[in-house]
Structure 1
Amino acid sequence: MNCSVNSKAGRDDDHAASCSFAAYDGGDWAWEFLRRNDDYISDWRSSIPRHLPCIMLNDGTKLLRLRRRFLQAEKWGLYAFADPRLCAHETTAFWHAKALKRVVRLNARKPDQGEASVRRLADFNAERHAVIGVDGVPLVVMKRNGVRIPLEIHGLSVLTAAFTPVYELHDLDDLTAQTELLRRLQRLTDADLRVVQKPSFAADERLQQALIALDESLKGKTYRQIAIAIFGEKKVTEEWHSHSQFLRDRTRRLVAKGTALMKGGYLDLLA
Structure 2
Amino acid sequence: MTNPVSHSRRDAGDNAAACNSVAYDGSDWAWEFLRRNEDYKADWRCSVPQRLSCITLIDGTRLLRLPRRFPRAEKWGLSAFADPRLAADQAPVFWHADALKRLVRLNATRPTPGSKTASLTLGNFRVDRHAVIGANGVPLVLMKGGGVHVPIAIHGLRVLTAAFAPVFELTDLTDIAAQTELLKQLKRFTEPSFQKTQRPPFANDERLQHALIALDESLRGKTYRQIAIAIFGEKKVTEEWRSHSQFLKDRTRRLVAKGTELMKGGYRDLLG
TM-score (norm 2): 0.92
Distance in 2 between residues matched to 1:123 and 1:26, nearest whole Å: 23
Which runs of 5 or more residues in structure 2 are unaligned?
1-10
Q: 1:249 to 1:100 in 2, by over 3 A?
A: same
Q: In the TM superposition, what is the alpha-carbon distance from 1:196 to its structure 2 partner? A: 9.1
The DSSP-based 3-state class of the residue aligned with 2:23 is coil
Within a 5 Å distance, the mapping from 1:57-206 to structure 2 comes to 57-116=57-116, 117-194=118-195, 200-206=201-207
8 Å CA contact retained: 1:121, 1:159: yes
Q: In the TM superposition, what is the alpha-carbon distance from 1:132 to its structure 2 partner? A: 0.3
Kindly report the root-mean-square deviation, in angstroms, between the aligned alpha carbons of the 2 structures.
Answer: 1.7
Distance in 1 between residues matched to 2:160 and 2:40, nearest whole Å: 31
Q: 1:35 to 1:14 in 2, by over 3 A?
A: closer
8 Å CA contact retained: 2:25, 2:200: no
Q: In the TM superposition, what is the alpha-carbon distance from 1:18 to its structure 2 partner? A: 3.7
Which runs of 5 or more residues in structure 1 are unaligned?
1-10
8 Å CA contact retained: 2:215, 2:256: yes
Distance in 2 between residues matched to 1:82 and 1:13, nearest whole Å: 20
Answering whether residue 256 of structure 2 is matched by residue 262 of structure 1, we say no
Say which structure, 1 or 2, has more relative contact order (CA 8 Å, 6+ apart): 2
For 2:255, the aligned partner's letter is: L
Identity %: 68
Number of residue-to-residue matches in the alignment: 261
Distance in 2 between residues matched to 1:40 and 1:195, nearest whole Å: 30
For 1:167, the aligned partner's letter is: F
For 1:131, the aligned partner's letter is: V
8 Å CA contact retained: 2:34, 2:263: yes
Q: In the TM superposition, what is the alpha-carbon distance from 1:202 to its structure 2 partner? A: 2.5
Distance in 2 between residues matched to 1:150 and 1:186, nearest whole Å: 13
The DSSP-based 3-state class of the residue aligned with 1:108 is strand
Match of 1:211 in 2: 212
Q: Which runs of 4+ in 1 moved over 3 A?
A: 11-15, 18-22, 194-200
The DSSP-based 3-state class of the residue aligned with 1:193 is coil
Please give the per-residue CA displacement for 1:105-153, whole angstroms capped at 9, x wherever unaligned: 0101111123351111111111111000000000011111111110110
Distance in 2 between residues matched to 1:237 and 1:171, nearest whole Å: 56
Q: In the TM superposition, what is the alpha-carbon distance from 1:250 to its structure 2 partner? A: 0.4
8 Å CA contact retained: 2:132, 2:141: yes
Q: In the TM superposition, what is the alpha-carbon distance from 1:199 to its structure 2 partner? A: 6.0
TM-score (norm 1): 0.92
Q: In the TM superposition, what is the alpha-carbon distance from 1:254 to its structure 2 partner? A: 0.2
Match of 1:36 in 2: 36
Distance in 1 between residues matched to 2:208 and 2:145, nearest whole Å: 20
Distance in 2 between residues matched to 1:85 and 1:19, nearest whole Å: 15
Distance in 2 between residues matched to 1:219 and 1:100, nearest whole Å: 31
Distance in 2 between residues matched to 1:99 and 1:191, nearest whole Å: 31
Distance in 1 between residues matched to 2:173 and 2:232, nearest whole Å: 45
Which deviates more from structure 2 when the two are superposed, residues 81-90 or residues 13-22? 13-22
Q: 1:104 to 1:197 in 2, by over 3 A?
A: farther
8 Å CA contact retained: 2:12, 2:213: no
Match of 2:226 in 1: 225
